[in-house]
Amino acid sequence: MDLQALKNKYDIIGNDPALNQALETAVKFAPTDLSVVILGESGVGKENFARIIHQYSARRNNSFFVVNCGALAKELVNSELFGHVKGSFTGSTETRKGYFEDANGGTLFLDEIAELPLESQALLLRVLQSGEYRKVGSNKIEHTDVRIVAATNIDLYEAVRRGKFREDLYFRLSAAQVRIPALRDRHEDIYLLFRKFTSDFSETSGMCKISLRPDAIRLLNSYRWPGNVRQLKGFTQALTAQVSRKVTPTLQRIELSAAELAPFMPREEGEPLPVVMDGAPAQASGAGMNVDLQPIIKAIFDLNQRIDDLEAVVSRRSLPAPQAAPVREQEAEWQGTDFAAPSGRMVEAEADEQPQQEEPSLSLRETQAEMIRKALEKHHGNRKLAAEELGMSERTLYRKLPPEYRKK
């Protein structure tokens, strides 16, 4: 399977190993008739993966329907999914088909499946098990041959524990999973996506492309992008529209430094800010730590992550230099390595420098470990909540867990 060709076809940008694994898993499930659940945060592109599963299946020549379960009125969910007969409820003046009838022989993509009411979940389970359903207001059993691809941005097991999702439906769906990583866990892909989005926008608007200096790239990567790829695309387009200019023969790109990019970076509402009253730092309610320590904590972990990355680079320098990879045919301009060297920059580019980093001190590591302990104690061992408070991914938190927490 040519992963790059697949990405180009479905407009998927990135080279992150977790993203590649998700694509490979989707393609492996596609030829089967298994029901598949796609897991990932809002904005990561779950619908694209559903379309890949459909297109690489034997159902590719039949219908593909997208149903946003969260957008269906609760009182009409069953009617929308399974149809209804005339007179079954007020306003039902005619018999209508539902999605399961319309999609017969094809694929039904149920986005935000956790939003379905429990009653509808039971009816969905029956369809998955036997292909049988009944229209609302009818006693006639009907049959359908539909493949289900579901998606959710929440933890389904946690929803089961809270009684919001049926356990039997969870086990029916969870056997075949495709996990799409969040953008904040794909650091190497963030600027690649930025370049793609500003390049596309410049082509349609006639505006100069935007490129970033190394310090601006670091700033772009430091933001957590809670809206993932969808948010980054909107941000890039808005940034290009605000700071760019019309393309001229001598000006085709504009380069930004971190200081020039910073005013446009998104800010999440409700983000805790340092507050000082009567000369003392304000205490976060029930937080167990000062509010104004949060930026320091996040900076410590970000610094340590960069140090780890530099250590990996240094260790690779001792290996023989790899041969240059062949240039891909028809490689897009934004994919090239010279994007950050604009031909008509408005800002003088600075020479790249290799920062000198020292091995982090023992006291720094001890400080990090103590911060992790406090966060885990505060959230009763919940790693996800602790990671969110510390501004890192769960994967990074696990790698830095103090020894006493690794067996928990």
- Find the mean pLDDT for residues 92-101: 86
CB contact at 8 A, 232 and 196: no
Same domain, 124 and 198: no
Asked if residue 126 belongs to a domain, the reply is yes
Same domain, 136 and 189: no
More confident residue, 62 or 309: 62
- Amino acid sitting at position 407: K
Same domain, 257 and 377: no
- Find the mean pLDDT for residues 204-230: 95
Share above pLDDT 90 across residues of the chain, in percent, rounded to a whole number: 57
Instruction: Work out how many domains the chain is built from and give that number.
Output: 3
CB contact at 8 A, 113 and 153: no
Asked if residue 346 belongs to a domain, the reply is no
Q: What is the pLDDT of residue 95?
A: 84
Q: What is the pLDDT of residue 218?
A: 95
- Find the mean pLDDT for residues 378-382: 79
- Amino acid sitting at position 75: E
DSSP 101: H
Asked if residue 143 has pLDDT above 90, the reply is yes
Asked if residue 342 has pLDDT above 50, the reply is no
Asked if residue 160 belongs to a domain, the reply is yes
Q: What is the pLDDT of residue 396?
A: 76
Instruction: Say if pTM beats, i.e. exceeds, 0.85.
Output: no
Same domain, 203 and 90: no
Asked if residue 267 belongs to a domain, the reply is yes
Rounded CA separation 36/26 (Å) = 9
Same domain, 158 and 100: yes
User: How do beta strands 209-212 and 276-277 pair?
Assistant: unpaired
Asked if residue 368 has pLDDT above 70, the reply is yes
CB contact at 8 A, 92 and 50: no
Same domain, 165 and 195: no
Asked if residue 227 has pLDDT above 70, the reply is yes
Same domain, 10 and 120: yes
> CA of 260: how far to CAs of 98, 179, 302, in Å?
52, 36, 21
Asked if residue 323 belongs to a domain, the reply is no
Give the pLDDT confidence of 289-328 residue by residue, as tens digits: 344 445 555 555 556 555 555 555 444 444 444 444 444 4
Asked if residue 285 belongs to a domain, the reply is yes
Rounded CA separation 242/187 (Å) = 25
Residue 391 contacts by C-beta under 8 Å, 6 or more apart in sequence?
Answer: 224, 294, 297, 298, 301, 302
Classify residue 180 as exposed, middle or buried by CB count within 10 Å of its CB (0-12, 13-18, 19+): buried
Same domain, 101 and 113: yes
Asked if residue 321 belongs to a domain, the reply is no
Asked if residue 159 belongs to a domain, the reply is yes
Same domain, 7 and 96: yes
Q: What is the pLDDT of residue 356?
A: 43
Contacts within 8 Å (CB) and 24+ apart, 394-402: 395/185, 396/301, 396/305, 397/372, 400/301, 400/304, 400/368, 400/369, 400/372, 401/372, 402/369, 402/372, 402/373
pLDDT band, very low/low/confident/very high, at 231 (cuts 50, 70, 90): very high
Same domain, 27 and 140: yes
Same domain, 76 and 140: yes
Q: Is 38 helix (H, G, I), strand (E, B) or coil?
A: strand
Classify residue 349 as exposed, middle or buried by CB count within 10 Å of its CB (0-12, 13-18, 19+): middle
Same domain, 114 and 38: yes
Note down the domain range covering 384: 280-315+355-408
